[in-house]
Amino acid sequence: MTSSRPAGPRQPTLEDVARSAGVSRATVSRVVNGTRNVDPEIQRIVQEAVAATGYVPNRAARTLVTRRTDSVALVFSVPAHRTADDPFLGQVFSDPFFGRVVGGLLTVLRPRGVHPVLMLADSEDARHTLVANLRQEHIDGVALVSIAPGDSLPFLLTEAGLPTVLFARPSTPIPISYVDVAQQAGARLAAERLLARGCRRITTVAGPFDSPAGQDRLAGFRAAMAEHGHAYVPSVEGSFTQVGGERAMRELLERYPDTDGVFVANDLMAQGALLVLRDQGRRVPEDVAVIGFDDSSAALASRPLLTTIRQPVEDMAAEMARLLMALIDDPSQQTRSVIFKTSLVERDSA
The pLDDT value recorded for residue 95 is 65
Average pLDDT rounded to a whole number, residues 19-46: 80
**Residues 74-115 pLDDT 10s:** 998 877 655 444 444 555 556 677 888 999 999 999 888 888
Residues 171-188: tens digit of each pLDDT: 888 999 999 999 999 999
pLDDT in tens, 223-243: 999 999 999 999 999 988 899
Please say whether the beta carbons of 295 and 310 come within 8 A: yes
Distance between CA 307 and CA 299 in Å, rounded?
Answer: 7
| CA–CA dist 46, 182 (Å, integer) | 43
Output 47 or 320, whichever has higher pLDDT: 320
Q: Which residues pair with 343 in a beta bridge?
A: 310
What pLDDT score was predicted for residue 1?
42
Q: Which amino acid is at 95?
A: D
What per-residue confidence (pLDDT) applies to 62? 52
The pLDDT of residue 212 is above 60:
yes
pLDDT tens digits for range 293-322: 999 888 899 999 999 999 999 999 999 999
pLDDT above 70 coverage of the chain, percent: 87
Q: What average pLDDT does this structure show over 155-165? A: 92
Q: Which of 54-58, 227-231, 236-240, 344-348 has the lowest mean pLDDT?
A: 54-58
Q: Among the residues of the chain, which ranges form H helices?
A: 14-21, 25-32, 40-53, 59-66, 88-94, 96-109, 124-137, 153-159, 183-196, 212-227, 242-255, 267-279, 297-301, 313-329
* pLDDT score for 93: 53
- Across 134-138, 184-188, 205-209, the highest mean pLDDT is recorded for 184-188
Q: What is the pLDDT of residue 59?
A: 53
Report helix angle 14-21 to 25-32, nearest 10: 110
State how far the Cα of 294 lies from the Cα of 64, in Å rounded to an integer. 43
Task: Kindly tell me if the per-residue pLDDT of 4 is higher than 50.
Answer: no
**Confidence tier at 149 by pLDDT (50, 70, 90):** confident
**Model confidence at 66: pLDDT above 70:** no
Domains and CATH numbers, the chain: 14-57 (1.10.260.40), 71-181+314-342 (3.40.50.2300), 183-310 (3.40.50.2300)
Q: Is the Cβ–Cβ distance between 236 and 248 less than 8 Å?
A: yes
Average the pLDDT over 53-74 and give the result.
67
The upper half-sphere exposure of residue 134, i.e. CA atoms within 13 Å in the direction of its Cβ, equals 33
